[in-house]
Amino acid sequence: DTGVSQNPRHKITKRGQNVTFRCDPISEHNRLYWYRQTLGQGPEFLTYFQNEAQLEKSRLLSDRFSAERPKGSFSTLEIQRTEQGDSAMYLCASRGGMNTGELFFGEGSRLTVL
Amino acid sequence: TQLLEQSPQFLSIQEGENLTVYCNSSSVFSSLQWYRQEPGEGPVLLVTVVTGGEVKKLKRLTFQFGDARKDSSLHITAAQPGDTGLYLCAGEWRGSNYKLTFGKGTLLTVNP
């Protein structure tokens, strides 16, 4: 399967713990996005990479959140000192070089903070 | 921050009925996309529109882009239970630097 891969698919953690999600994009795509989605709502933009450069971060991305894409391939999203409000689906998407290219989404990583 | 309004938020209809979902912005889109999402999965692209007045058809789905490129609609004819899902519009504006902003979505339920 050469689509966008995310893991883990599900993570249950206790408040205050750190969690890390990984995204492997489609190999030839240079742009990688992280979104957060709560039940019944649309995805909210968190951050975006072009190759290894993080070009934009949302105000939603507090200092407890950090994202990296060290070699311009896979990306990680880490949440430190998790809070119950962090419970959501974290979606990763990648995109090729076309100006109106579509986003290809992974199946998401669902986080539940107890 | 660009805002993208989608309506209605919820829609429950009977099989065979028609429906329309709307997507609006106060700013001019450089491009707009419609996605469909099923529970537990990521959104999947249905269509991209870029030209004002453009109409695209995908089987029973018809997508329109407003002449001024500030609004779009998705019309489904003779809805089927398999059409059930979350329909999302997503837009880019001039200067958005390849960042795609999503609407809150329309949760469609088609009852048999």
pLDDT, tens digit, for every residue of A66-105? 999 998 899 999 999 999 999 999 999 999 877 667 899 9
| Inter-chain residue contact B88 with A43, CB threshold 8 Å | yes
* Distance between CA atoms of residues A34 and A45, nearest Å: 6
* Distance between CA atoms of residues B96 and B92, nearest Å: 6
- pLDDT tens column, B4-38: 999 999 999 999 999 999 999 988 999 999 999 99
Pair of tokens at residue A46: 């968190």
* Distance between CA atoms of residues B5 and B21, nearest Å: 11
Which site among A37, A107, A111 would you substitute to test the B interface, given the most B Cβ atoms closer than 10 Å to its Cβ? A37
* Distance between CA atoms of residues B36 and B41, nearest Å: 10
- pLDDT tens column, B96-106: 878 889 999 99
Q: How far is B9 from chain A (nearest CA, A)?
A: 9
Residue with tokens 């190999």: A27
DSSP, collapsed to helix, strand or coil, labels residue B22 as strand
